[in-house]
Amino acid sequence: MDKPTHLIEFETMLLGRHLLSAPRSRRGGGHLDRSAYTLLSRIRMEGPMSIGQLSDAFGLDASTLNRQTAAMLRAGLAERIPDPDGGIARKFRITRAGELSLDAERARNIGGLERVMADWSPDEVAVFATYLKRLNSDIENLDGRPWPRP
């Protein structure tokens, strides 16, 4: 643990643990699971997407995405529509209920981060955000799957 990359690996492992365990331990009604949150975020940013496009974007196989999107359809968070560009594949579009659920989940996540970082200065938060964006962007560039950013 003497190299900075070793420390980053350890801390990102812990961060993943905190992110994955917190929602399960505090889940009540109305919370999105991680896959719905991520899929809906991507669909909101890019517009309607087919299973093939989602597979390319996430590097997941169609069977996994079929299970995840089926759950979103059952929950009324997304709907299947004909391709607006006239293609053969049907696409998934976020519904109003999906928009509201995504906004509520994002607000809860931001509120949690604000509680955690309450003692951080605005400059510290901004610097951390810059480095986190750089880390994610570099991972995406190596993987060949850049995430759209506002």
What pTM does this model have? 0.85
pLDDT in tens, 87-108: 888 999 999 999 999 999 999 9
pLDDT for residue 89: 86
Confidence of residue 19 (pLDDT cuts 50, 70, 90): confident
Domain borders along the chain are 29-118, 120-150
Residues with Cβ within 8 Å of 32's Cβ and at least 6 positions away in sequence, in order, are 40, 77, 101, 102, 105
> What average pLDDT is seen over the chain?
90
- The pLDDT of residue 49 is above 80: yes
Confidence of residue 25 (pLDDT cuts 50, 70, 90): very low
Domain 29-118 has CATH 1.10.10.10: yes
Residue 32: Cβ-neighbour burial (10 angstroms; 0-12, 13-18, 19+): buried
CB-side neighbour CA atoms (13 Å) of 17: 6
As given in the structure block, the two tokens for residue 2 are 């003497």
pLDDT for residue 22: 61
